[in-house]
Amino acid sequence: MMSLAALAALIYAHVQITEGREAERRANVHELWREILRLGFENPVLSDPTQELGVFDYDARTVDGSRQMFQKYELFVDTVLNASDEILEVQSTPQWITTVRLELNQHREYLLSPHFQNSGFIKQYTPQFRTFIFDALKDRAK
């Protein structure tokens, strides 16, 4: 009887630890997204090139004629991609998939540009996430 109670306690502890870890990962996902929103709020020119708040030249690698701004833009997009990868790894719900697709489509021209395609940045992501990125960019409606 004692060994059965110990086994039950062990199973219960394992379930609690697993649930705690999952809750922490979900909380981290929301924190990552808040960080993306904060960065976008602080950098409106970089957060959505489709709004045409700045002049993006992906060939010359400038934003409003500035290479430094373009470097900041690349770091912004890299942050979005890293957060999106982690978000979808933890919570691949239809809502998060839609949210990430909408965010990626704001950077569609850059992500499809020869500069980005040849930069090697994309290789840091899993094949599954790379496929997700390009599927999201091909199909704007989803």
In the chain, domain spans: 2-44+74-138
Backbone angles phi, psi at 53, to 5 degrees: -80, -15
Written as one letter, the residue type at 111 is L
Determine the Cα–Cα distance for residues 114 and 88; give it in Å rounded to an integer. Answer: 26
In this predicted structure, the answer to whether residue 5 has a pLDDT above a threshold of 60 is yes
Give the per-residue pLDDT at 76. 95
Q: Is the entire prediction scored with pTM above 0.85?
A: no
For the segment 71-121, what is each residue's pLDDT rounded down to a tens digit?
A: 999 999 999 999 999 899 888 899 999 999 999 999 999 999 999 999 988
Query: Is the pLDDT assigned to residue 142 strictly greater than 50?
Result: no
84 vs 57: CA distance, rounded Å: 24
Q: What percent of the chain has pLDDT over 70?
A: 91
